[in-house]
Each structure stands twice: as structure tokens, then as C-alpha cells.
């Protein structure tokens, strides 16, 4: 098998989500998406699907097997990776979601994320290099007029690279503990001093310039995240006429050697080591965390999409292998030594593993595309902040749940291959290595869970979650006479009740912690399990809605795709949703003993 053509897309399921489940064509062609009609969107999907499978996926192996090297502060990208990036930029696909005034296609988020799924699943290590457009788009909205012209518009026009620069060696996920400082020079100009780590695409030679968006603390600013400001720090200074000036004082001083996504340069950046690192205060205001979260939230959505895309191609590769690999007799003839060997898809355990992958990847895609549909609505109805709040609630589910399940289930996809999957003859071992980072960066799963509990539920006083729960209950109570999904509705209703029960127990402990601080241990020990159960209830709800659509489409005749959608929903409801009951029981009986356990006992 040639790994150059490793990538297997599922355009049929992507189009089902967009047009049959979420019906985006009903508002395409109208403001704010007047530039895109249904025919255009379908054409885009067809072309990007081809591009992803062919030119962009072509350097998947080369990016992994060709070690990047740091020489005198420079990193040279492999030839194949450069060719893959050429294919993206030549087609203008880096601009898919940008407004027309920035030279973009003004695509709705739903289409932009579909394009992202196709590309990031094909070659994640290469895909991250096109992030410069995102940084420029954020800067176009947050920057001063000069910053917009000098860095945002010119960066998009000249296809510059870009990074988000948060993490520091001693701070890690505790962004507010960062010590990189900004020394005021004049106006919006500062000199930055400090070291940042784990900076994706922090240095590479493909783009003529890289625009870093950097969090730093101005001298005299308060401690914590509130004292951080965001600065534009270009690799090369930009002259008034738009030409590139001298090299700025930001230098790559380390290149991480990683488990996966090896084709993506992950750098240590040092600011102000041998010469001043000139930075410009974004927008002329000290509002760094809010500004940077524009980038962070986009990145979290991308990671959820990446996880889904990687599991999808992993599953489809395993499915193909299971249909051609013959091994062992059928289980009903196991004692017959003369029985013919059968394809392994006929073995019960292989089928179980494949169905678990299928149901989860379709559920994760349903969740991500529902999130993208919500983002569409936020654009369509900007005066209704309920859409933005729902998007906020969904993001930790999309990122946290999808990344965890993708990594686990990719191991099941590899298991289908047996020993062959452990070799480099097939792409599964690389999928697993490339996917593990998804549970870690842009906020670990534990951080996503705390964000869900404290920021998206408690701070919101449960308003957004309650509204979503009411919609789920409408589906639970739906159906009617001869309802083919009566059992599934009942399972969904029970799981929703279990999630509400678990949350009630956790909220009760949170309230008690005001008088007894150690009570805080009880809900925080179960924050991850709450994220998991809530994500599964939302996914179950969406899969049931998809099954209803598929059932109606089956009235015209049999169709394996629609029948498979129904099978996925039923499997998920019957084997996944009941787990929420145990999580509820564990939360309700939590005594916090783990936190009282002496360290020596570990």
C-alpha cells in the first residue's frame, strides 16, 4: 500500500451534515453569505476533496520521515511539503473564510470548517503552516489602521506565515504566569524580552515573513492574565512602502523533537537576545487575553476537526483492510479445520471495533458541524448573543471529547490491522502519533473540562445549557405512532437525566465549598467525566436527528449510506449513552478521599 495516497475522505458524510442535517443551502446566497450559493459550495467541496487526497496528502510521509533541522536560527522545509503548500496557496484555499475586502471567498463557517477537515486530515504537519491567514484576519479586526495595512492586508496578499505565541517554559498552561516583558519605547512600539516555547510554525523558510502574535506583560502591569497585552512581532520589520526591512530581534533558539506531527516546526522563540525585538501593541490597547482568545477559540475548533478527520481516515483505512484481509474460519465453523478462511470483517470482535469507530466518528463530525452551523447563525444574527454563548458551550466538547476519543479509537483502527498496523507499511501508526498532541495543546482535556464547568456553565448560571437541554428534550418527546426510534428516545432521555443529576451533585459541592473549601475537590475530580457525558448526550441527540433524516430518505428505497446512519445512531445510543449513569453515581458518591491521600502512597 502506498502511503502517499493514505488519505480516505468521507465527502458523502460531510455533505449529509451540511445539506441534509443542517440544511445550510436554505440561507446560502443571502447576507452575510451572499457570495456563496449551494452550487458553489458543492463545487468547492469537490475540488478541495480532490486536492486533499492528491497534492496535499502527497507529502504526508515525507513530512514525517524528513527530520527538520535548526541551522543558524533557520529551518528549511522539505521539498514535498513546499509543493503541498503551493497547491493550497495557488488555489487561494488559505482565504476561504476571509471577507471579500481581504481577498477572501466570504464562506460561511460551516464550509470553512469542512475545507479544514479535508485538508488537516490529509496532512496535519503541513496544514499548520497556513495559519498566517488566521492571524492576519484577527489582526484585521483588532489592529490599528496602520497594523491592518502593514501586517494584516499585506500578510494575506503576500501569503505570510503567522503564529500565536503564548506558552513559556516555566508557565506551561498557566498563561497568566508568563514573564515575557514589554518595554515601552514610544506610541504603540515596544521591545519584548523573554522566551516562549512550543510555538507552532515559529520558524520556517517557506514564507517570506512570519507575523507573530505575542502575549507579553508591559512593565508595571498587574500580575495574571489581566496584565497581559498582545503585540505584533514580525520576523522581518516592514517598511512604510510595504517592503521588508531588517531581521527583527526574535530568533528560533530551539526546535522540539516530537512524537508526532514531525513535519510541523515547533519552536522555542527568544525575544531580544542579541537585538531588540520590536513589537506593536495590537489595536493600541492593553486587551491581550480577549484578543488572543479570538485565535485560541479558532484553534480549539480546529483541533476538534483535526481529531475527527484523523479518526475518519483511520477508520476507513481499517474498514478497507478488514474487507480484504483473510484470516481464520468463521466463528460458527471454528471447530471445522477444513472451513475456508474468511475476511476479518466477518469476525465479531473486528466488527465491534469497526462499529465503535464508525459511530463515534460520525457522532464527532455531527458535533463539529453542528458547532459550525451555530457559528453560521451567530454571523446571520449578530444581535442575538445566544448563538455565541452556545458556540462557547460547544467548543470544549468539540475539542476535548473529540481529541480523547480519536486517540483511543485510532488504536482500535490499528488493532484491526494486527501486527501490520504496528509497522510503517500502513498509516495508522503515524495517525496515532500525530493525534496524541490533540488532547494536549490549545488547553488539555482537563483544562477544557474546567472551562466547561466554571466558565460555560456556572458563570452562565446554566442558561445556555438549559436552553440546549430543552431542545434535546423536544427530540426525546418526539416520534409518535409507529416511531422507529422509540427505544433510542428513551435512552437519550435517561442519559440527559443522568447528566443533569451529575451536574446537580457537582453544583451542590461547589456551593458547599464556599463554607468548606475542600468541597471543591468533589466537582473538579469529575469535571472530565461531566465533559464526556455531556458531549455524548449532545452527540446522541444529533445522531438521532440524523437517523430521522436518514429514515425519511429511505422511503424512496434502500440505501446503504442511510441505513448505516441509522445503525450508527442505534449503536451509540445502546452502547455509549448508558455510561453516563455510572459517571453520575460516581459523582454523587465522591468523598474527596483521593485529595487527602498522602503523596508517599502514590
Concatenate the DSSP letters of all residues of 494-513 into one string: HHHHHHHHHHHHHHHHHHHT
With beta carbons less than 8 A apart as the criterion, state whether 266 and 258 touch: yes
In total, the chain counts a number of residues equal to: 602
Task: Check if 442 is active-site.
Answer: yes
In a domain, 190, yes or no: yes
State residue 264's pLDDT score: 97
Residue-level pLDDT at 557:
65
Quick one: 187 and 128 in the same domain? Answer: no
Decide which of 238, 264, 286 is a domain's last residue: 286
Q: What CATH number has the domain bearing residue 30?
A: 1.10.540.10
In the three-class reduction of DSSP (H, G, I as helix; E, B as strand; rest coil), residue 141 is classed as helix
**509 falls within a domain:** yes
Specify whether 460 is located in the same domain as 522. yes
Q: Quick one: 489 and 574 in the same domain?
A: yes
Any domain includes 275: yes
Nearest to 414 by CA among 350, 328, 362, 342: 350
Sequence-separated contacts (24+) of 588-595 with Cβ below 8 Å: 588/501, 588/502, 588/505, 590/505, 590/509, 590/521, 590/522, 590/525, 590/526, 591/522, 592/518, 592/519, 592/521, 592/522, 592/525, 594/521, 594/525, 595/518, 595/521, 595/525
First to last CA, the chain: 46
182 shares its domain with 73: no
Q: What is the pLDDT of residue 1?
A: 39
Q: For the chain (length 602 residues), average pLDDT per consecutive 10?
A: 72 98 97 94 98 96 96 96 96 92 93 98 96 91 96 95 94 87 97 97 97 97 96 97 96 97 97 96 97 95 98 98 95 91 96 98 98 98 97 98 98 97 96 97 95 96 97 94 94 98 97 96 98 98 97 81 97 98 98 95 96
Q: Which domain holds residue 171?
A: 161-286
**Position 453 in a domain:** yes
Q: How many structural domains is the chain composed of?
A: 3
> Is-contact 336 329, C-beta < 8 A?
yes
Q: Check: pTM over 0.75? Answer yes or no.
A: yes
Establish if 377 belongs to a structural domain: no
User: Of the residues 193, 356, 442, 488, which is catalytic?
Assistant: 442
Residues 533 and 584 in one domain: yes
Axis-axis angle for helices 486-512, 463-476 (nearest 10): 160
* Of 108, 110, 105, 88, residue with least CA distance to 16: 110
Cell of 65: 520521515
Beta-carbon count within 10 A of 47 CB: 14
Q: Which of 286, 316, 351 is the last residue of a domain?
A: 286
Distance CA 241, CA 433 (A): 44
Task: Characterize 532-544 residue by residue with b for buried, 16 or more Cβ atoms within 10 angstroms of its Cβ, and e for exposed.
Answer: bbbbbbbbbbbbb
3-class SS shares of the chain: helix, strand, coil, % to 5: 60, 10, 25
Q: Where does a domain end: 268, 286, 304?
A: 286
* 3-class DSSP assignment, residue 451: helix
In the block, which residue shows the cell 522540539? 256
CA separation, residue 539 to residues 466, 485, 523 (Å): 16, 16, 23
Count CB-CB contacts under 10 A for residue 363: 27
Q: How confident is the model at residue 556, as a pLDDT?
A: 61
Task: Give residue 5's pLDDT.
Answer: 73
Instruction: Examine residue 358 and state whether it is found in any structural domain, yes or no.
Output: no
Amino acid at each position: 500500500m502506498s502511503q502517499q495516497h493514505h488519505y480516505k475522505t468521507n465527502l458523502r458524510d460531510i455533505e449529509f451534515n451540511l445539506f441534509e442535517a443542517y440544511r445550510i443551502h436554505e440561507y446560502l446566497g443571502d447576507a452575510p453569505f451572499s457570495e456563496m450559493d449551494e452550487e458553489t459550495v458543492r463545487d468547492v467541496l469537490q475540488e478541495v476533496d480532490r486536492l486533499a487526497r492528491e497534492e496535499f496528502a502527497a507529502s504526508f510521509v515525507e513530512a514525517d520521515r524528513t527530520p527538520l533541522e535548526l541551522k543558524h536560527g533557520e529551518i528549511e522545509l522539505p521539498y514535498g511539503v513546499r509543493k503541498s503548500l503551493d497547491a493550497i496557496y495557488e488555489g487561494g484555499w488559505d482565504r476561504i473564510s476571509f471577507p471579500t475586502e481581504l481577498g477572501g471567498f466570504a464562506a460561511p463557517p460551516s464550509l470553512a470548517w469542512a475545507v479544514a477537515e479535508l485538508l488537516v486530515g490529509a496532512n496535519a504537519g503541513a496544514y499548520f503552516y497556513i495559519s498566517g491567514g488566521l492571524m492576519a484576519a484577527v489582526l484585521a479586526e483588532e489592529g490599528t489602521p496602520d497594523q491592518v495595512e502593514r501586517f494584516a492586508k499585506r500578510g494575506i496578499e503576500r501569503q505570510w506565515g503567522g503564529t500565536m505565541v503564548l506558552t513559556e517554559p516555566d508557565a506551561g498552561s498557566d498563561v497568566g504566569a508568563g514573564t515575557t516583558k514589554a518595554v515601552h519605547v514610544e506610541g504603540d512600539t515596544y521591545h519584548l524580552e523573554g522566551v516562549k516555547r512550543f510555538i507552532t510554525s515559529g520558524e520556517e523558510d517557506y514564507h517570506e515573513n512570519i507575523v507573530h502574535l505575542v502575549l507579553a506583560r508591559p512593565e508595571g502591569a498587574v500580575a495574571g492574565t489581566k496584565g497581559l497585552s498582545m503585540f505584533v512581532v514580525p520576523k522581518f520589520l516592514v517598511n512604510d512602502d510595504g517592503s521588508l526591512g531588517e531581521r527583527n530581534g526574535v530568533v528560533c533558539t530551539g526546535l522540539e523533537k516530537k512524537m508526532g506531527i514531525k513535519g510541523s516546526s515547533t519552536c522555542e522563540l527568544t525575544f531580544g537576545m542579541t537585538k531588540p525585538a520590536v513589537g506593536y501593541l495590537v489595536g493600541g490597547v492593553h486587551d491581550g487575553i480577549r484578543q488572543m482568545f479570538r485565535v485560541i477559540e479558532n484553534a480549539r475548533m480546529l483541533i476538534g476537526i483535526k481529531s475527527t478527520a484523523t479518526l475518519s481516515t483511520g477508520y476507513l483505512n481499517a474498514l478497507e483492510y478488514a474487507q480484504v484481509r483473510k484470516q481464520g474460519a468463521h466463528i460458527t465453523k471454528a471447530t471445522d479445520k477444513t472451513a475456508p478462511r474468511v475476511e476479518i470483517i466477518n469476525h465479531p470482535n473486528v466488527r465491534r471495533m469497526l462499529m465503535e469507530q464508525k459511530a463515534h466518528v460520525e457522532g464527532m463530525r455531527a458535533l463539529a458541524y453542528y458547532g459550525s452551523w451555530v457559528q453560521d447563525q451567530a454571523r446571520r444574527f449578530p444581535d442575538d448573543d445566544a448563538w455565541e454563548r452556545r458556540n462557547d458551550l460547544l467548543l470544549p466538547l468539540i475539542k476535548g471529547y473529540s481529541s480523547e476519543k480519536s486517540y483511543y479509537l485510532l488504536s482500535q483502527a490499528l488493532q484491526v490491522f494486527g501486527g501490520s498496523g504496528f509497522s510503517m507499511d500502513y498509516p495508522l501508526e503515524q495517525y496515532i502519533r500525530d493525534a496524541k498532541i490533540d488532547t494536549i495543546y490549545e488547553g488539555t482535556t482537563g483544562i477544557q473540562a474546567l472551562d466547561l464547568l466554571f466558565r460555560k456553565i456556572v458563570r452562565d448560571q446554566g442558561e445556555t445549557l438549559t436552553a440546549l437541554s430543552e431542545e434535546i428534550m423536544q427530540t426525546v418527546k418526539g416520534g409518535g405512532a409507529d416511531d422507529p426510534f422509540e427505544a433510542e428516545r428513551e435512552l437519550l432521555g435517561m442519559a440527559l437525566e443522568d447528566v443533569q443529576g451529575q451536574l446537580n451533585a457537582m453544583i451542590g459541592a461547589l456551593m458547599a465549598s464556599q463554607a468548606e473549601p475542600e468541597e471543591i475537590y468533589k466537582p473538579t475530580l469529575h469535571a472530565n467525566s461531566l465533559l464526556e457525558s455531556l458531549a455524548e448526550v449532545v452527540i446522541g441527540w444529533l445522531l438521532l436527528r440524523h437517523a430521522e433524516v436518514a429514515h425519511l430518505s429511505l422511503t424512496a428505497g434502500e440505501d446503504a449510506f442511510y441505513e448505516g446512519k441509522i445503525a450508527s445512531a442505534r449503536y451509540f445510543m445502546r452502547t455509549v449513552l448508558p455510561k453516563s449513569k455510572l459517571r453520575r453515581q460516581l459523582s454523587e458518591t465522591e468523598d474527596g478521599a483521593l485529595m487527602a491521600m498522602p503523596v508517599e502512597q502514590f
